[in-house]
């Protein structure tokens, strides 16, 4: 997959007359999937290259100062988009300057001049330009003026519910992981690196690895215990993930109450020759097992963790 940084002073003649779709594609959910696959199908029918035009960072990150609800980081987005095998991905670096461009100016400088597309595929709510003032009505005018074909797809509905990134964020914030995954069409994921912890979980008989999520804008589900699948060192493991301040451990072992992510891998056997600190790990969140709770003693906590692990095994093997 070829990735280009689209700029107004550049052109890409190898992809002139291509079939493209444009969007932030945060989450790359079932609705996005329909748009991308339709773009690919049309390109195949016409024998043309096709591309996905998107933004880095996702515009909400710049538009809203307290935005902490990103569904897909750039790294995650490239991994998912690669599976569609586009001819190219065009990245528009989203800046204050671009944010303040009038819609036609943006479209001409970042789409028409660099790519001269033959066909543009978008959803019915596509917006662009300053204050999101560009819409489908304007795109239809630009279609005539700049001689490309516009294809507008209907809202994609899953079990009669429109699939939108906003709805998926709401579900994740509420801890409804299974429903969010249904609308995504895949498991919600996190990518992080392993860092050192306090070693308390090992004393409790369930050694965990501590995960640091680098992108501060990424949406982290609410505190609780989750059933997950992890990718580590080119192997797949199932596990139990805890998100929260660990109130029992914090109080009994006098550990600072900081929100953290810990994972106990069910089928992992430690190799003393491998230092996991600094290693990258990917986490797919399959389901939420329970909310975070405080226990009066370590024995009750150990019993509950054992129940969580047992429940996870049941979800694997039935």
Please tell me the distance from the alpha carbon of residue 229 to that of residue 214, in angstroms, as a whole number: 19
Rg from Cα positions in the chain: 23
Q: What is the pLDDT of residue 318?
A: 76
Q: What is the pLDDT of residue 251?
A: 86
Q: What is the pLDDT of residue 273?
A: 65
Sign of CA dihedral 139, 140, 142, 148: positive
Burial class of 58 by CB neighbour count within 10 A (0 to 12, 13 to 18, 19+): buried
Within the chain, which residues score under 70 in pLDDT?
271-273
Q: What is the pLDDT of residue 161?
A: 86
Please tell me the distance from the alpha carbon of residue 203 to that of residue 220, in angstroms, as a whole number: 27
**Which SS3 state, helix, strand or coil, does residue 164 take?**
coil
Q: What is the pLDDT of residue 272?
A: 58
Query: Which residue matches tokens 């505190």?
Result: 223
Query: Which residue matches tokens 């969007």?
Result: 23
pTM beyond 0.85: the answer is yes
User: Residue 27: left if φ>0, alpha if ψ -120 to 50, beta else—which one?
Assistant: left
Q: What is the pLDDT of residue 271?
A: 67
Please tell me the distance from the alpha carbon of residue 230 to that of residue 282, in angstroms, as a whole number: 6
Beta strands 188-195 and 209-212, pairing class: antiparallel
Distances (CA, A) of 202 to 8, 67, 191: 55, 35, 23
Model confidence over 218-268: pLDDT tens digits? 999 999 999 999 999 999 999 999 999 999 998 888 888 899 999 999 988
Q: What is the pLDDT of residue 24?
A: 96
């Amino acid at each position: 997959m070829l990735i280009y940084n689209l700029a107004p002073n550049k052109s890409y003649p190898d992809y002139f007359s291509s079939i493209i779709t444009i969007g932030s594609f945060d989450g790359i959910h079932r609705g996005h999937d329909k748009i991308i696959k339709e773009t690919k199908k049309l390109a195949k029918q016409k024998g043309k290259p096709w591309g996905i035009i998107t933004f880095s960072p996702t515009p909400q990150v710049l538009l809203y100062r307290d935005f902490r609800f990103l569904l897909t980081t750039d790294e995650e987005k490239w991994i998912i988009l690669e599976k569609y095998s586009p001819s190219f991905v065009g990245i528009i670096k989203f800046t204050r300057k671009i944010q303040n461009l009038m819609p036609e100016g943006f479209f001409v400088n970042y789409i028409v001049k660099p790519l001269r597309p033959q066909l543009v595929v978008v959803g019915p709510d596509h917006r662009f330009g300053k204050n999101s003032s560009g819409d489908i009505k304007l795109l239809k005018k630009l279609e005539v003026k700049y001689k490309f074909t516009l294809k507008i797809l209907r809202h994609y509905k899953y079990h009669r519910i429109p699939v939108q990134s906003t709805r998926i964020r709401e579900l994740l914030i509420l801890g409804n992981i299974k429903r969010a995954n249904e609308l995504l069409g895949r498991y919600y994921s996190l990518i992080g690196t392993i860092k050192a912890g306090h070693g308390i979980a090992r004393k409790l008989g369930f050694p965990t690895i501590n995960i640091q999520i680098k992108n501060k804008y990424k949406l982290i589900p609410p505190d609780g215990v989750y059933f997950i699948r992890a990718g580590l060192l080119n192997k797949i493991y199932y596990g139990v993930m805890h998100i929260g301040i660990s109130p029992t451990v914090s109080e009994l072992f006098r550990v600072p109450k900081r929100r953290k992510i810990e994972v106990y891998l069910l089928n992992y056997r430690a190799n003393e020759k491998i230092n996991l600190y600094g290693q990258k790990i990917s986490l797919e969140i399959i389901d939420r097992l329970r909310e975070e709770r405080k226990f009066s003693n370590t024995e009750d906590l150990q019993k509950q963790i054992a129940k969580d692990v047992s429940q996870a095994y049941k979800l694997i093997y039935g």
